[in-house]
């Protein structure tokens, strides 16, 4: 046996459909708003920071050591400190470098 059900009228008096948001729809709209706000904040921070300093690189020559490169590129620093800066800038866990390897030169200050 079939039953008839009353379906509410989805049209308002002006003849326009009424918008109904589910909990999921409200969540999606809220997340979209948060993402848009984060985008604006990140763009503003990038503009305020100004241009990024250019990074220079050096290619390791045959027989060259990290200490030699560090001393040549950062002569104002003690060799040990210069080596540590090179290691940090390039994610090196040892003093070993290979010929042909490209290293980022860290800033001296």
Measured in degrees and rounded to the nearest 5, phi and psi for residue 103 equal -120, 140
Number of domains making up the chain: 1
Domain-located, residue 66: yes
Domain-located, residue 27: no
Contact (CB, 8 A) for 18 and 10: yes
Domain-located, residue 69: yes
Containing H/E element for 56?
Answer: strand 56-59
d(CA 48, CA 51): 9
CATH of the domain at 61: 3.10.350.10
d(CA 72, CA 82): 10
Contact (CB, 8 A) for 59 and 102: yes
Q: pTM of the predicted model, to two decimals?
A: 0.51
Domain-located, residue 82: yes
Measured in degrees and rounded to the nearest 5, phi and psi for residue 88 equal -65, -45
Domain-located, residue 88: yes
pLDDT in tens, 88-106: 999 999 999 999 999 999 9
Domain-located, residue 33: no
pLDDT in tens, 11-55: 556 666 667 789 999 999 999 999 999 999 988 887 877 665 657
Can you give the residue range of the structural domain that contains 67? 56-105
């Amino acid at each position: 046996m079939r039953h008839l059900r009353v379906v509410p009228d989805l049209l308002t008096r002006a003849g326009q459909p009424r918008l109904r948001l589910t909990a999921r729809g409200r969540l999606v709209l809220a997340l979209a708003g948060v993402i848009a706000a984060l985008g604006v904040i990140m763009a503003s921070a990038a503009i305020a920071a100004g241009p990024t300093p250019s990074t220079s690189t050096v290619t390791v020559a045959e027989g060259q050591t990290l200490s030699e490169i560090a001393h040549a590129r950062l002569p104002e620093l003690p060799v040990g400190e210069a080596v540590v800066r090179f290691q940090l800038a390039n994610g090196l866990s040892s003093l070993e470098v290979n010929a042909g390897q490209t290293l980022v030169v860290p800033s001296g200050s």
